[in-house]
Amino acid sequence: MIRKFVRERISWIMVVLALQLLGLVMAFLDSAISFSSMFYYVFLSTVIFVLFIVIRFHRETNFFLELLDREDNLDKTSLPEASSPFEEIVEKSITKTVDHLKHESSRNKLMLEQEKDELLSWIHEVKTPMTTMHLIIDRIGDLHVKADLTREWLRIHLLLDQQLHQKRIPFIENDLYIEEVKLNTIIVEEITTLRSWCMQKDIGIEINLQVETVLSDAKWLAFIIRQLVTNAVKYSNPSSEILIISRKQNGRTFLQVMDNGRGIDPKDLPRIFDKGFTSTNQHGDHAATGMGLYLAKAAAESLLIHIKVESKVGIGSTFSLFFSEKNEFEKTRGM
């Protein structure tokens, strides 16, 4: 701050030094002026000027030092009090900007809320004809046509579900209800939804749960498992098997979804949970949205679930969910 203050006042300092030097030169050239008296004057005035600079430094920089230390937020009460006309100009400018940003933020938030509500309403309205469509598909006699239509219906159903949860993710904290959840019930429901897809690819799913219940939110846990199982089915080789197991490790419950699919390239592993990321090897896969694992990770963080992935190209992938214990939820609620 000292350097900045000197740079700001360098013109004043140079003018004062120039006047002091001018006085010494005049005393040196004009014998009528005592050089020792002029030197004494220059010395005293320089000391006074230095004291003046020190005092002004403390008075003028306090306001800006407090501005630098202030947190970057829209709280006007944290603004330092102005003590000079120029500081008042700065304070008024910041206050006006903060008021404008608050107004824009409120307006944008309202628009986003309206957009979210409209989209959620639309998704719920679409569910009715989707259910009707599924009943009509079930009555189709041609098994080949029925399988094709069921597969496309399932794609639409999963995309709508993904979009629904994507809009709810920012407000997930208001939607959580932590309780003892039965893993088998959730897993079987998700597999049942994907049954036609599994039959088409001749994929079997084996469930081996040594731990049957976990502490979590049933709805959001189902969404996370849905994303993992859907990915496993999508990328598994035909006539292969998916294994879903639960175990306890070091006193902590974990759930694993293992497939025998194409695997994930090592260079893609750090990015698979990034929003919109699909794959560097399968970049032409236009059906991939790059949102499933991103949303699963976002939901898992709110549920205090840690997601870990292990994969080998050509062998398969293993997604692991490590669940939090009851005391960890209590610590979070108490914060």
Q: What is the maximum alpha-carbon separation in the chain?
A: 123
Nearest CA to 256 out of 324, 310, 195, 182 is that of 310
Q: Which amino acid is at 165?
A: H
Rounded CA separation 331/335 (Å): 6
3-state secondary structure of 237: coil
Which class for 196: exposed (0-12), middle (13-18), buried (19 or more C-beta within 10 A)?
middle
Phi, psi of 290, deg, nearest 5: 70, 20
Q: According to the model, what pLDDT value does residue 188 have?
A: 94
Q: Are the C-beta atoms of residues 288 and 300 closer than 8 Å to each other?
A: no
3-state secondary structure of 43: helix
Q: Which amino acid is at 94?
A: I
Q: Identify the architecture of domain 176-334 in CATH.
A: 2-Layer Sandwich (3.30)
Rounded CA separation 257/191 (Å): 12
Q: According to the model, what pLDDT value does residue 335 have?
A: 44
Rounded CA separation 117/87 (Å): 44
List the chain domain ranges.
2-98, 176-334
pLDDT tens digit string along 221-255?
999 999 999 999 998 888 899 999 999 888 789 99
Nearest CA to 203 out of 170, 160, 240 is that of 240
pLDDT tens digit string along 293-328?
999 999 999 999 999 999 998 899 999 999 987 656
Positions in the chain short of pLDDT 70: 280-289, 326-335
